[in-house]
Structure 1
């Protein structure tokens, strides 16, 4: 196996110069850098990345915390983050918290024990006071959830406004008995969407349809179950805003089985513009987030703080969302800013 001395001999340069090129240090002439790279290619020399990371006191690894990778939104987000991180020379560790507070803190220990250089949190379950101490050990960026009082970069869309616009759209279609299906009220995202939903109803003098099964709805099966409950206990419901296209798809599928017409008897709005939203018949009106752009910006922001350490400060980056109006509510496309 070739060594750094072999590369130096082949390039006709000192070992120190070769080392500086390998570690991408400044003040090395471009002609010498090229000679080193050609020698490395010729000999098949591969730098010892582990040793280089130790010298730099960096792991070149970031941790991404998310509730569940099976959710299409998060899998899409992770893909965008991994591609961008790789382009910057970083690896990613995917950490599924399953919305467990202890698991969330356990994964943050990776930062304290120097196993990762930084962390991106796509969901937050603990109080900010429990997370804040970890900033002592490295940068953290929040994605998707806007935690008040958190002095660090936050990348998200305005979920309250998105929910407000989606609910207003349902009301404009003539819906008067509306329900909101959330992923769980312990989620900041779900809470903000509920605020937007209720704001739209209040402005129109309407009251929400409430059902015990409407919280914790994530999947197609959840959508089916909730629809059955609504039909049984609230047969007058005529519009539903859901937090997921999968839930919306489950409701629409089950509505057909029960002889309900969508959107004539029941209008349905999803969230995230997943592939299933176009495959369903009728196609699902949904709120689209710029997932790729959000993921890329999170990585860029985190890497900046890793490579240029400084005190984190409150920085809100709010991306635009778009309401894509389709057959499940029958209207044309509407833009939201």
Structure 2
């Protein structure tokens, strides 16, 4: 053996020892099948013809293919996280909603992650991308500007349920906003009020507009003309301000009753009334809030219970996971009007010229 041969022989042996590890694609190419078929064979799954299975196994042995166990375990690991995308965790309604979904998810061995949109379509897109970067077992979303097509695309990957707002072809859990607002307005009218104001919010979805429509319907049914000057929509309700509430209540023809279309609107309105030392009119809040029952009088509210909505949304999410081909459902959660005193306040009687009430 020459000197060159002595030098080359170990090198050749080393090269053979470090032969590249066979990949799944190498097995598929050598066996003349798809990578998916190879995956089914090595995972002992059904759906492969016996002859094809034998050929793949022979190729696996011939190439010395060894499956990557860590990759297999990662693939097999079930998605175990529920994503929730809401308007704002500072909203008492959504805070309670998330708490209920989390409780149910944990009991089912699942994790929960949530994000908020802040009512902003651009932020909604960013937060959606962040959530869907995880291995989700399902997504619950209160959409702001998100189209049905986006949700349908996500629905091909995991179950999707909307809450509070509807998108065509997507499971939804909602309340009857129109009917609940009509009921609350009718209750105020039944207590003798003829000037009922609507304290809403300027939001980019139909929840509040449906409640406004219910309010108007109740006025019409009672033969009370609609007065647009008694309708307040104000974005700053979200930050606890109600700049338009005080001037409304200080008018000579001030309303004697208020329907607050959200709990945030109610909080801001009550704050404005107290700050100006105004007499408390009859008031109904659409949704409960912390300490509402300890105010004097306690705040009457439309109970669209976030616990019921949360339970219904989670249940529908799990049903969709079990039956992915089932037609989408629109689940309407019932509401009720809970009297606490503020909604039952009678209108003040005006004084006649000599000071006697009429």
Regarding TM over 0.5, the answer is: yes
Report whether the alignment pairs 1:54 with 2:69.
no
Q: Is the alpha carbon distance of 1:301 and 1:269 closer, same or farther for their aligned partners in structure 2, counting shifts above 3 Å?
A: same
Query: Residue 174 of structure 1 is aligned with which of 178, 192, 213?
Result: 192
Query: Residue 158 of structure 1 is aligned with which of 155, 172, 176?
Result: 176
**Distance in 2 between residues matched to 1:207 and 1:55, nearest whole Å:** 60
Query: Residue 82 of structure 1 is aligned with which of 102, 105, 113?
Result: 102
Offset, 1:296: 1.9
1:122 alignment partner in structure 2: 142
Offset, 1:127: 3.3
- For the 8 Å contact 1:184–1:217, the answer to whether it is kept is no
**Distance in 2 between residues matched to 1:289 and 1:324, nearest whole Å:** 10
**Distance in 2 between residues matched to 1:310 and 1:275, nearest whole Å:** 38
Of 127-136 and 89-98, the range deviating more from structure 2: 127-136
Query: Residue 295 of structure 1 is aligned with which of 303, 310, 314?
Result: 310
Offset, 1:175: 1.8
1:283 alignment partner in structure 2: 298
Q: Is the alpha carbon distance of 1:115 and 1:77 closer, same or farther for their aligned partners in structure 2, counting shifts above 3 Å?
A: same
Larger gyration radius, structure 1 or structure 2: 2
- In the comparison of the two structures, how many residue pairs are matched? 276
Query: Residue 341 of structure 2 is aligned with which of 327, 331, 335?
Result: 327
Of 228-237 and 276-285, the range deviating more from structure 2: 228-237
Offset, 1:247: 3.0
**Distance in 2 between residues matched to 1:280 and 1:76, nearest whole Å:** 20
1:93 alignment partner in structure 2: 113
SS at match of 1:282: coil
Q: Is the alpha carbon distance of 1:203 and 1:105 closer, same or farther for their aligned partners in structure 2, counting shifts above 3 Å?
A: same
1:315 alignment partner in structure 2: 329
- For the 8 Å contact 1:64–1:93, the answer to whether it is kept is yes
Unaligned runs of 5+ in 2: 1-69, 346-358
2:165 alignment partner in structure 1: 145
Q: Deviation string for 1:177-233 (max 9, x for gaps)?
A: 22212232412211211111111122223213436852325358324x232131356
Of 191-200 and 234-243, the range deviating more from structure 2: 234-243
Unaligned runs of 5+ in 1: 1-49, 332-337
Q: Is the alpha carbon distance of 1:100 and 1:256 closer, same or farther for their aligned partners in structure 2, counting shifts above 3 Å?
A: closer
Offset, 1:130: 4.1
1:236 alignment partner in structure 2: 254
TM-score, normalization: structure 1? 0.72
TM-score, normalization: structure 2? 0.69
